């Protein structure tokens, strides 16, 4: 069966493309190789995928005409691509284009596939707002352009399911970390600052933030678990993350312990749009998908540190 993975050269997408390929699926990867962060890391991820027989196509989903690029009949679509995170450098227009318009263009392509079994939208806990502690049916209150546009894209995807145009589901991911994490993300930046004696930009109050930090391998297992459960998943939303909560301060202390280095800080004002707490309620995913994350916080950070040392 043929699987299309968008954002395949990115952090989570590249891990997932590798994993599903190992399960015997033919994977076609798609990525626009944006300059949101250094392209070198994405290019390296793409080379690793290609070395394992995975095709990676350079294409921007904000453009139309994907059907002219991909001739294979697609059976599963896993949509990781989008404008990531909360950044003062990103405009609302960039979030809207890359999270909403791009998703709409991909849906148009999906509707042309005669034997599409499931469209899997990868969403985020940011749709819940400052306190992401809720179940999937609870009210969403996003507080950032990122969260707003990801929620809009999610509803766009699920509207196609509600209209019986295709089978689709959305997975809300919680605070993913691990090897290949973007250089602007928390733990890659902390590890970099520890090892290379740089100052870490610490926003006021952020050490007390609580997160369901979830190792990327456990996230990938959760995403994979939808395969073969298309009827169960159709029209559904699932939280995918760890039930264990940790503060940013705990993360800092773990990185210092693993690297044997003290981290220096540049203290900055509070950042608007930050979540204060995420706590993944995964009862639904555990019950319907058999989802069961196992990697401890410290183990995951050890693996990420080893990866960072090797890049």
CA angle (30 as vertex; 28, 31 as ends), nearest 5 = 155
300 pLDDT tier (thresholds 50, 70, 90): very high
The CA-to-CA distance between both ends of the chain, in Å, stands at: 33
Alpha carbon distance 261, 177 (integer Å): 20
- Set 95, 128, 146, 177: catalytic member: 146
Alpha carbon distance 305, 179 (integer Å): 8
pLDDT of 265-297, one tens digit each?
Answer: 999 998 887 888 999 999 999 999 999 999 999
> Of the candidates 289, 275, 243, 241, which has an alpha carbon nearest to the alpha carbon of residue 127?
275
Fold exhibited by the domain 2-174+215-241+278-292? Rossmann fold (3.40.50)
Known catalytic residue: 146?
Answer: yes
Mean pLDDT, the chain, as a whole number?
A: 96
CA distances (Å), origin 52, targets 6, 14, 29, 70, 83: 17, 12, 12, 20, 27
State the average pLDDT over residues 137-145: 95
Q: For residue 38, what pLDDT is reported? A: 80
175 pLDDT tier (thresholds 50, 70, 90): very high
pLDDT of 54-66, one tens digit each?
Answer: 999 999 999 999 9
State the average pLDDT over residues 234-252: 97
- Indicate whether this model's pTM tops 0.85: yes
Alpha carbon distance 62, 94 (integer Å): 10
171 pLDDT tier (thresholds 50, 70, 90): very high
Q: For residue 88, what pLDDT is reported? A: 65
Residue 159: what are its φ and ψ, rounded to 5°?
-65, -30
Q: For residue 84, what pLDDT is reported? A: 85
State the average pLDDT over residues 236-261: 97
């Amino acid at each position: 069966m043929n699987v299309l993975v968008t954002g395949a050269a990115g952090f989570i997408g590249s891990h997932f493309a590798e994993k599903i390929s190992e399960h015997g699926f033919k994977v076609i990867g798609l990525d626009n190789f944006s300059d949101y962060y250094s392209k070198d890391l994405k290019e390296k991820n793409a080379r690793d995928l290609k070395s394992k027989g995975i095709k990676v196509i350079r294409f921007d989903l904000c453009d139309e005409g994907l059907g002219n690029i991909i001739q294979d009949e697609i059976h599963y679509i896993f949509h990781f691509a989008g404008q990531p995170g909360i950044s003062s450098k990103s405009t609302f227009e960039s979030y809207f284009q890359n999270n909403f318009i791009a998703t709409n263009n991909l849906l148009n392509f999906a509707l042309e596939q005669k034997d599409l079994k499931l469209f899997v939208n990868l969403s985020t806990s940011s749709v819940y707002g400052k306190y992401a502690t809720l179940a999937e049916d609870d009210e969403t209150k996003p507080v950032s352009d990122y969260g707003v546009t990801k929620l809009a894209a999610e509803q766009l995807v699920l509207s196609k399911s509600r209209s019986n145009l295709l089978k689709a589901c959305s997975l809300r991911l919680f605070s993913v970390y691990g090897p290949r994490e973007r250089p602007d993300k928390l733990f890659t930046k902390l590890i970099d600052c520890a090892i290379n004696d740089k100052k870490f930009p610490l926003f006021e109050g952020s050490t007390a933030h609580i997160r369901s930090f979830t190792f990327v391998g456990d996230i990938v297992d959760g995403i994979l678990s939808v395969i073969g459960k298309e009827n169960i998943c159709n029209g559904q939303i699932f939280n995918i993350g760890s039930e264990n909560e940790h503060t940013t301060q705990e993360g800092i202390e773990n990185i210092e312990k693993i690297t044997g280095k003290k981290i220096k800080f540049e203290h900055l004002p509070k950042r608007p749009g930050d979540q204060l707490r995420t706590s993944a309620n995964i009862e639904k995913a555990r019950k319907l998908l058999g989802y069961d994350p196992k990697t401890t916080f410290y183990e995951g950070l050890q693996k990420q540190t080893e990866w960072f040392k090797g890049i």
